[in-house]
Amino acid sequence: MPKRAPLLLTAALLTLPLLGACGKRAPEDLTSKLLYTASGSYDAQADVRNRVNRSTRTVLWVEHPPLEAARVEVTYASEARQVAWTMTITAPKFTVGDVLKENPGAAQPAGPTPGQRFTGGRLKNVLVLPTEDGLRLLTRGYAVQRETALLPLFDQPAP
């Protein structure tokens, strides 16, 4: 036993710095918050969770939205939330430009609209469209299932 004591002490001293790092996380960037909101990570804090029909659900935040905005609403296909969702962000305190800065080279203009389509990066296959009072993001999967009129915006050739 006496020979093991130095080994245990050495192992304990070597793992001590690792334990301190467990509680620290890198701050979430805007892109992460957008994706976490879309995927359901913040649903527990939502003001309203609603089942629209058998295959569509909505989640709404007004009091404490997970993004810096007055209101956030996510509508998604319940059987395929990760790939089929749309998010409406009202009065955001960020712009499309802020999202683009975090994802350099990953987006292109979305045809004749003032929107952007992401062709790479973490937001691949997401379309960002400005609205009268904010932004709307939607996935290609959502457009395929529920808004086919927007599909051509995903298929525009690169400029």
- Burial per residue of 108-139, b for 16 or more beta-carbon CB atoms within 10 angstroms, e otherwise: eebeeeebbbbbeeebebbbbbeeeebbbbbb
Per-residue pLDDT of the chain (159 residues; tens, 9 = 90+): 555 555 544 455 444 444 445 555 666 899 999 999 999 999 999 999 999 999 999 999 999 999 999 999 999 999 999 999 999 999 999 999 999 999 998 899 988 888 999 999 999 999 999 999 999 999 999 999 999 999 999 986 655
Give me the torsion for CA of 27, 109, 123, 63, rounded to 10°. 60
Angstrom distance (rounded) from CA 90 to CA 71: 5
pTM of this prediction? 0.81
Angstrom distance (rounded) from CA 57 to CA 64: 20
Sign of CA pseudo-dihedral 33, 36, 42, 48: positive
The structure tokens 């086919």 sit at: 148
